[in-house]
Structures are given as structure tokens and as C-alpha cells.
Amino acid sequence: MKVILLNRHAASRTIELGKGFWALVSVCFIGLPLGLVALSYQVGFGEGVSSEQASRVTTQEQQASERAEALAQLGAEAQSRLSAMTRRLASLQAHVTRLDALGSHLIDLAGLDTGEFDFSGPPALGGPAQPLTPLVSHDVAEVEGELSALDAVFARREAQFDVLAGLLSSEQLRRESTPAGRPIRSGWQSSPFGNRIDPMTGQPGWHEGADFAGREGSDILAVASGVVSRSGYQAGYGSMVEVSHGDGLSTRYAHNKENLVAVGDLVRRGDVIALMGSTGRSTGPHVHFEVFKYGRVVDPASYIRRTHR
């Protein structure tokens, strides 16, 4: 193909366009658009892949975050349950300690065999071993329910034991504070309560106690627990000790060589409270023993015949 270029001031020129020219034109007018389209597609496809990959990564991150939150919540719930069960276990251990103490106290009060009822060590247990299945959530709830029930049982047992201990303590206190037995370890009863011949005048007289003769300086014992209400010298009685036992009961121990207790002292049954002597109106070493009930002297014979329990 020939192209003629016209010029007003010069001669015309003819340019012949060959196949290379048309190939270049074809490339420019056809290949370039196609290349742009291909490049656009490639860029768009790449962006789509990147967007899809980014979307997948975001979804995975969200799922991982959700799993982490779920695990954290499960961990918090497990920690909360563990704390609750730990507190419940501590409460049960406190109940067990309390019951052990009450059991030991009841053994002492009731006079049971400590070898048979020993609360100082763990109970004797045994049996073949059986495998345990792993705990699941509903098993944990069942265990918590059983712990609550056991806690309630312990609380009821404590209340019952407290009442029983109170009754036994009251009964023991009543027994301990009731006169029983003789006020001496060894010796003999030299004079009963009631009518007798006065050893000083030889005339009939009234004797408001029971006399127990023995060796001078031997022990005089409290026949019941109580509080010393008198300790000193009194006309006729010589050196005397009086013990108040409550419930209107009191006892006197007279003609002592020496008093070993003072007013206000707490004494237990069998404690040595004085030494036998012959002070006051007396013909020899002995203890004059009297029992008062609501301020009136009574025959001590029934109390002397009682045995210690």
C-alpha cells in the first residue's frame, strides 16, 4: 500500500506501507486492548483471590477467638466450681473436726471404752478397689449435691450431739455435785446421826452429823464437787470447812487439824480439803461430817451409803 504526501511548496512524496507496518498497527489497535483486558482480568483475579484468602483468614481468626473465649469461659466456670467445692470441703472438714471433738467429749462423759471408740485416728475402712469413670458435667453437679446433703447431715448431727453432750454434762454435774461416800480414805464411823450420849457430859444429846475416827493428820475428802463457802475456826466445830454443792446441798467437815482450802475455791469429789485433827469440842482425832439441804441438817447416812459413779 502506497501513501502520497502532497506539499504546496515541494514535490509530492510517496510512502509505501509494508506488512511490518500493518502488523504494528494490528498490534497497537488489537493486541493492546486485548493485553489491557488480560491485565485487568489478572489484576482483578488476583485481588479476588487475595480478598477470598483474607476472608478465610478473618473467619479462622474469628473462630479461633470464639474458641478461646469459650475455653476461657469453661475455665472460669471450672475454677468457680472448684472454689465452691473447696469451700464446701473445708466446711465438711470443720464439721468432722467438731464431731470428733464432740465424740471424744461424749466418750469421757459416758465413760465408754476409749479403745473401742477412738476418735483420735481415722476410722478402719477397707474393701476391693473399683475403677472410677471420669467425671463429666452432670457428675460434678451430682457430687456438689451430695456434698450439700452431707453438709446438712453433719449440721444436724452436730446439733444432736450438742444436745446430748449438754444432757450428759448436766447429768454428770448433778452426779458430781451430789454427796456420796465417806469423807475419809480409811477409818471407822465412831458416832451416828441422831440421839446419843454426849461424850463430854455423859447425858443424852442430839448429834447433827456422823463422826469418822482415824489417824491424826490423815486426809479428809470432799464427798462431792462444789465451792468452798466457809473455811476457818467456829465455836464447837473447831477448824471447819463447808462446801456448797448447789441445788440446796452443802456439807461440813469439822475438828480439822488444818484446812487446805480457802473460801471460793472450787473442789472436785475426792479432793483433799483438810487434815484430820481434834480441834474444838472433841475427844480425839476424827472428822465431824454434816449434810445440809436447803439450810436444814439431814441424816447423812443415805449419802454415805451411796457409791461413786
Strand residues in 61-192 grouped as ranges (E):
188-191
pLDDT for res 156: 73
Q: What is the pLDDT of residue 198?
A: 81
CA distance 101 to 309: 23
DSSP state of 89: H
More confident residue, 83 or 270: 270
Q: Which residue has the cell 448436766?
A: 170
pLDDT tier for residue 177 given thresholds of 50, 70 and 90: confident
What is the per-residue pLDDT across 94-127, written as a single tens digit (0 to 9) for each?
Answer: 766 767 776 666 666 666 666 655 555 565 656 6
The number of CA neighbours under 13 Å toward the Cβ of 86 is 6
The full DSSP string for 26-79 is: HIIIIIHHHHHHHHHHHHHHHHHHHHHHHHHHHHHHHHHHHHHHHHHHHHHHHH
**pLDDT (0 to 100) of residue 62:** 79
The residue that leads in pLDDT, 62 or 255, is 255
In the predicted model, what is the mean pLDDT of the chain? 77
Grid cell listed for 88: 464446701
CA distance 170 to 182: 24
pLDDT band, residue 137 (cuts 50/70/90): low
pLDDT for residue 140? 66
Q: Give me 198's grid cell.
A: 454426849
What pLDDT is attached to residue 201?
82
Instruction: Identify the residue whose cell numbers are 456434698.
Output: 147
Q: What average pLDDT does this structure show over 16-41?
A: 61
190-226 confidence digits (pLDDT tens): 999 988 888 888 888 888 999 999 999 999 999 999 9
Conformational region of residue 21, where left means phi above 0, alpha means psi within -120 to 50, and beta covers everything else: alpha
More confident of the two residues 280 and 126: 280
